[in-house]
């Protein structure tokens, strides 16, 4: 197959998100309104089945 | 004891729209644009006047909005990246089109500042040389280092604008 016959290889393909970036619409992390915090909680039990997760204390932390 | 006014009501004209806001004496223009008016197209890169990501036009001149206090802007015309697009038709400014067509964009973080600097340049010099373009954008850093395509984009934009 020649290069001319391919859809992308050897072609200048428009950048999909270019319009968003050039208009200032693209959202970067610092542009997001809310800031969330994540904590990864590991299970104290190896090879166990999760029946439920108690998130009541987490729900009380400041939004 | 003297009472120091720490806040003041100001009128800001941004992209043709009037806003009346109470701003702190130490609030920068970029903070007001981003946090109060939610115009987050203007970026904060370094927040100390080194990177140019926060460039906006005030009365047609490119300024670093991170080093400009909002209260200094009373009665002035501010143009941000959001104001370049035609609000009715969604038509882009020829500079924006040229950046898309000439791959003057990589991560996009410097793009709004670059485009605004280019806008100011082409307003005062519609036919700049490559050297003049490089001189104009020397205060805008692109950490993807896509400068070649950025200069090509601005050259293409100047041709586009002179044609129409």
pLDDT of residue A63: 57
Confidence class of residue A1 from pLDDT cuts 50, 70 and 90? low
Query: How far from the centroid of its chain's Cα atoms is residue B48's Cα?
Result: 16
Q: Which residues pair with B97 in a beta bridge?
A: none
pLDDT of residue A40: 87
Pure H helices in A10-59: 18-23, 56-59
Confidence class of residue A12 from pLDDT cuts 50, 70 and 90? confident
pLDDT of residue A34: 74
Chain B: closest CA distance from residue A41 (Å): 33
How far from each other are the two terminal CA atoms of chain A, in whole angstroms?
A: 57
Q: Which residues pair with B20 in a beta bridge?
A: B11
Mean per-residue pLDDT, A2-31: 88
Tell me the residue range of the domain where B67 lies: 7-83
B157 in a structural domain: yes
> For chain A, what is the largest distance between any 2 Cα atoms, rounded to a whole number of angstroms?
62
Regarding whether B105 and B76 lie in a shared domain, the answer is no
Q: Is the pLDDT of residue A62 over 80?
A: no
Chain B residues in contact with A26 (beta carbon < 8 A): 108
User: Considering B31, B55, B83, which residue would you say is the last residue of a domain?
Assistant: B83
B44 in a structural domain: yes
Look up the ipTM and state it: 0.91
Residues in chain B: 164
* Residues B81, B116 contacting (CB under 8 angstroms): yes
pLDDT of residue A41: 82
Burial of B15 (0-12, 13-18, 19+ CB in 10 A): middle
Least confidently predicted of A10-14, A24-28, B36-40? A10-14
> Does the CB of A27 have a partner CB in chain B at under 8 Å?
yes
Decide: helix, strand or coil at residue A4. helix
> Does the CB of A37 have a partner CB in chain B at under 8 Å?
no
pLDDT in tens, A34-44: 777 788 888 88
Mean per-residue pLDDT, A21-26: 97
Confidence class of residue A53 from pLDDT cuts 50, 70 and 90? confident
| Neighbour count for residue B50 (Cβ, 10 Å) | 13
Structural domain tally of chain B? 2
Chain B residues in contact with A34 (beta carbon < 8 A): none
- Rounded CA separation B125/B107 (Å): 28
Q: Which residues of chain B have pLDDT under 50?
A: none
Per the model's pLDDT, the better-predicted residue between B99 and A59 turns out to be B99
Nearest CA to B96 out of B109, B88, B105 is that of B105
User: Considering B29, B60, B83, which residue would you say is the last residue of a domain?
Assistant: B83
Per the model's pLDDT, the better-predicted residue between A54 and B119 turns out to be B119
Global pTM reads: 0.85
Say whether A17 and B34 touch across the interface (CB within 8 A). no
Q: Report which secondary-structure segment, H or E, holds B79.
A: strand B77-79
Residue B56: CATH number of its domain: 3.10.20.30
Regarding whether B79 and B11 lie in a shared domain, the answer is yes
């Amino acid at each position: 197959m020649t290069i001319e016959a391919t859809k992308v290889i050897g072609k200048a393909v428009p950048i999909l998100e270019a319009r968003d970036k050039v208009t200032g619409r693209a959202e970067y992390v610092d542009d997001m309104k809310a800031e969330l915090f994540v904590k990864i909680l590991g299970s104290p039990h190896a090879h166990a089945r999760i029946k439920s997760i108690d998130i009541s204390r987490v729900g009380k932390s400041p939004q | 004891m003297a009472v120091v006014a720490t806040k003041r009501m100001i009128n800001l004209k941004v992209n043709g729209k009037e806003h009346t806001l109470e701003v702190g004496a130490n609030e920068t223009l970029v903070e007001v644009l981003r946090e109060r008016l939610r115009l987050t197209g203007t970026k904060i890169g370094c927040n100390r006047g080194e990177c140019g990501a926060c460039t906006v036009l005030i009365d047609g001149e490119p300024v670093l909005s991170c080093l400009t206090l909002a209260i200094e802007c009373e009665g002035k015309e501010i143009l941000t990246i959001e104001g370049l697009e035609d609000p009715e038709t969604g038509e882009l400014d020829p500079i924006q089109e040229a950046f898309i067509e000439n791959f003057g964009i990589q991560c996009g973080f410097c793009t709004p500042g670059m485009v605004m600097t280019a806008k100011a340049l082409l307003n005062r010099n519609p036919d700049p040389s490559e050297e003049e373009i490089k001189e104009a954008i020397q205060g805008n850093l692109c950490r993807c280092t896509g400068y070649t395509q950025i200069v090509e984009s601005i050259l293409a934009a100047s041709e586009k604008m002179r044609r129409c």
